């Protein structure tokens, strides 16, 4: 797989991330009454971390997913010893991640609508498998959370 990084690609990422930041800030204002400016700054920080992770993933020759780089960058800039940890934590804590779900689901719906013919070809078996995967993931997550909460004595 060729990992070519062009200026055009980076500019497209930047534009998409700015649009996503704007939409996320609006969702925070509407859903959780956070100030727009604070939410927008928090979204820009999250998107900047994402952009850096995407660029690193393209530049480093190893086949490591971008989410790994994004997670490491996020951890490094938010640890207490980081000189920028306080403002990063302050602004990103003003971004409610549940409000971003609406945007992601809308995007998924638009994407699914675009590929409706392919979705029809999958048929009922694909839908059943999808539901089983979602239910299994939910139940697995709930089981892990239950065990951890019981082990730590919270419940």
Does residue 9 carry a pLDDT above 80? yes
Give 73-95 pLDDT, tens digit per residue.
999 999 999 999 999 999 999 99
Q: What is the pLDDT of residue 1?
A: 41
The pLDDT tens digits for 93-126 are 999 988 888 888 887 777 777 777 776 777 788 7
Return the closest-CA partner of residue 28 out of 110, 109, 91. Answer: 91
DSSP code string of 33-82: ---HHHHHHHHHHHHHHHHHHHHHHHHSSS---HHHHHHHHHHHHHSTTS
Give the side-chain half-sphere CA count within 13 A for 100. Answer: 18
Domain coordinates in residue numbering, the chain:
7-114, 116-154
pLDDT classification of 57: cutoffs 50, 70, 90? very high
Give me 45's structure tokens. Answer: 């920080």
Percentage of the chain with pLDDT > 70?
97
pLDDT at site 87: 96
Contact 78, 88 (CB under 8 A): yes
Tell me the per-residue pLDDT of 124-135, one tens digit each, with 9 for 90 and over. Answer: 887 788 889 989
Q: Which residue, among 32, 14, 36, 13, has the nearest Cα to 23 in the 3D structure?
A: 36
**93 in Cβ contact with 100 (< 8 Å):** no
Could you tell me how many residues make up the chain?
Answer: 155
Q: How far is CA 3 from CA 12, 38, 55, 119, 130, in A?
A: 16, 35, 10, 29, 31
* pLDDT attached to residue 4: 79
Please tell me the distance from the alpha carbon of residue 27 to that of residue 16, in angstroms, as a whole number.
16
Query: Which tops the pLDDT comparison, 20 or 123?
Result: 20
For residues 27-52, average pLDDT? 94
């Amino acid at each position: 797989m060729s990992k070519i990084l062009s200026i055009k690609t980076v500019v497209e990422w930047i534009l998409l991330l700015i649009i996503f930041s704007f939409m996320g800030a609006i969702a925070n204002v509407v859903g959780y009454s956070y100030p727009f400016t604070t939410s927008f700054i928090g979204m820009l920080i999250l998107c900047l971390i994402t952009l850096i992770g995407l660029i690193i993933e393209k530049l480093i020759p190893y086949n490591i997913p971008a989410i790994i780089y994004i997670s490491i960058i996020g951890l490094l800039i938010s640890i207490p010893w980081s000189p920028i940890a306080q403002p990063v934590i302050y602004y990103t804590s003003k971004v409610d991640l549940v409000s971003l779900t609406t945007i992601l689901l809308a995007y998924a719906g638009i994407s699914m609508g675009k590929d409706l013919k392919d979705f029809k070809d999958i048929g009922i078996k694909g839908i059943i498998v999808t539901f089983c995967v979602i239910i299994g993931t939910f139940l697995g997550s709930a089981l892990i959370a239950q065990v951890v909460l019981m082990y730590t004595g919270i419940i």
